[in-house]
Structure 1
Amino acid sequence: MSDDPYKVLGVSKAATQDEIKKAYRKLAKRLHPDLHPGDPKKKAEFQEVSSAYDLLGDAEKRRRFDAGEIDAKGHERPERNFYHQYTDQQGGRRYDPNEGMENHEGFSDLFSDLFGQRTRAGQGGPRQGFHARGTDLRYHLDVDFMDAAKGAKQQVTMPDGNRIEVSIPAGLKDRQTLRLRGKGSPGFGGGPPGDALVTVTVRPHPVFTRVGDDVEIELPITFDEAILGAKVDVPILTGTVSMTIPKGASSGRRLRLKGKGLSRENGSTGDQIVRLKIVLPEKVDDEMAQLAQEWRDHVKLDPREVLRGML
């Protein structure tokens, strides 16, 4: 991967978050593997673009990269790691891996236990062994839209080089955090290990857009399909289905496919929204122009009448 994610996305360092997102979506639509099956070069380019967006699309990660705290892959720079893990809480600690998580042993309690044991030992009492739960570790995982929609298994590389398998549940949301019990740092003195907290970024898809538990697509249709109605094939998350375009359909009209959306935690499923878009040929011949003129002379329609009435 390039050391400069800004160059990969083709944006300047002064670009806004919206500009970064637009640049990524434009590249993703051109390079997505679904559009180039069997092309390893396009797949590699898509992965590089996705990695760059994973870094710059997150405002906090972008800030840390610009400050030199993490590298282009999102890894802590060695010279910074000690500070982030051990700097004093009262001095403005910002990167506590356990901040806000349950089962966190506070430093005051930990030192209290240690000194209490030493005192008892110094007084001749029985010496008690110290043990504590291991710290939780945070990771990031970049997930394809379809994997998040349908469920999948993916691997994460641990700091020690070991790889663990993560089960992606169907319907996983962007920025959702998965907890892997016992996959964090080892405990102390025989204490239990911490957990691994994996925050997921779901890459945008060139066709499907998530809206809550529904998915939405824009479906191009021809002028005659809009006027006369038609049966057309519509892509869904699991393949294609046949859908009826009603007569007289206008651009922007939204049709609903029940139960073709994303899985919910309660076991139900969202819907798919199909937004129609009438597409005309780039070149209009004389016959089409004559037909349009006859239409204009025959149909007295003012589509902007309602708009003017709202002004």
Structure 2
Amino acid sequence: MAKDPYSVLGVSRTADADEIQRAYRKLARKYHPDVNRDPDAADRFKEIGEAYSTLSDAETKARYDRFGADFRQYASSGAGPAGGTPRWGSGGPRPGPRPGRGGYGNVDVNMGGDVDWEDLLGGWFRQQGAGPAQGADHEAELRLTLEEAIRGGRRTVRLAQPGGETRNYDVDVPPGVLDGQRIRLAGEGAAGRDGGPPGDLFLTVQIEPGAKYRLKGRDIHFELPVTPSEAALGAKIKVNAPAGPVRITVPEGSSSGRRLRLRGQGMPDPKGLPGNLYAEIRIVVPRRLNKEERELYEKLAAVSDFNPREGL
């Protein structure tokens, strides 16, 4: 059973022509066989093209909306609202790709005829002798720790190449880069054709989750363990935060869950204000008490009238 073209493109049934085209362009670039080396990419690319050919034509889209997966037989028999011979790209028989225009080995992409492929795919279909064409863009992940993302600086990244070899790239990481941001290495993509310029390499930043610190936007959150006496009497505590050592003042009478804010000590922002550092107090008691500690705790329990459960 043919897949629903709306689901294939990831759009709703109320999507207009512009939304459909934007979704198609995004997916076509992602799954184009020149860019995506996944074995299933060619089939996915073909599926995306067929979905677009159904939804990009208002007449064909109307037939699909009315008859669903059987819309082609209504068109070919003349029984539906769009009777007559179906257009190429509207669900009827289509010619295979012309040599040098849409073929990838033995893969028949079977795309519609109303798409400007030269504009959409940056000249990927041009062959030798057809003029210069820019190479395809490549994408990869750049994994950083929180500390590396805060500091930024020059990093060397080793990436696999299409032929199975590896290559090192020098990357200037801007301080304060966030998870999901992309760093562009101009001219480090696929080689151009016929003297055309190469494509670019885009590195998507992935900040690895840490055991101690959590990043929310540009704010950094962590738990601050304190002793009962530090929480009751107050204290000044030195902590090695991701951006460097900081001194935190714990107010007298602090309970677990209290948040202390250190303004501007979070993730830096080259274009604006840095984030904040938030320390959440967590009172920790010793698992074992020596004799003197036990005597002092027993004395405190005897003289203190503090009841944290009052009202329960």
**What corresponds to 1:188 in structure 2?**
193
Contact 2:227 2:284 in 1 (8 A): yes
Name stretches of at least 5 consecutive residues in structure 2 with no aligned partner: 1-35, 53-112, 120-128
What are the residue-to-residue correspondences of 1:78-227 with 2, within 5 Å? 80=39, 83=42, 87=46, 89-91=48-50, 108-110=115-117, 129-152=130-153, 153-159=155-161, 161-227=166-232
**What corresponds to 1:119 in structure 2?**
none
SS in 2 for 1:148: helix
Aligned length: 205
1:185/1:283 CA distance change after superposition, 3 Å: same
Contact 1:258 1:271 in 2 (8 A): yes
TM-aligned CA deviation for residue 155 of structure 1 = 1.6
What are the residue-to-residue correspondences of 1:21-100 with 2, within 5 Å? 80=39, 83=42, 87=46, 89-91=48-50
Contact 1:154 1:168 in 2 (8 A): no
SS in 2 for 1:182: coil
Q: What residue identity is the alignment partner of 1:253? A: R
**What corresponds to 1:228 in structure 2?**
233
Q: What residue identity is the alignment partner of 1:195? A: D
1:154/1:143 CA distance change after superposition, 3 Å: farther
SS in 2 for 1:283: coil
Question: Quick check: which one's helix share is greater?
Answer: 1
Contact 1:233 1:243 in 2 (8 A): yes
1:108/1:253 CA distance change after superposition, 3 Å: same
Q: 1:278 aligns with which of 280, 283, 287?
A: 283
Q: What residue identity is the alignment partner of 1:135? A: A
SS in 2 for 1:108: coil
For 1:84 and 1:294, locate their aligned partners in 2 and report how far apart those are by CA, in whole Å.
76
Contact 2:187 2:197 in 1 (8 A): yes
1:237/1:107 CA distance change after superposition, 3 Å: farther
Q: What residue identity is the alignment partner of 1:108? A: V
Please give the TM-score of this superposition, normalised by the length of structure 2: 0.56
**What corresponds to 2:102 in structure 1?**
none
Higher-Rg member (1/2): 2
Contact 1:175 1:201 in 2 (8 A): yes
Identity of aligned residues (%): 32
For 1:165 and 1:292, locate their aligned partners in 2 and report how far apart those are by CA, in whole Å.
58
TM-aligned CA deviation for residue 88 of structure 1 = 6.0
TM-aligned CA deviation for residue 223 of structure 1 = 1.4
TM-aligned CA deviation for residue 87 of structure 1 = 4.6
For 1:130 and 1:86, locate their aligned partners in 2 and report how far apart those are by CA, in whole Å.
25
Q: What residue identity is the alignment partner of 1:109? A: D
TM-aligned CA deviation for residue 194 of structure 1 = 1.6
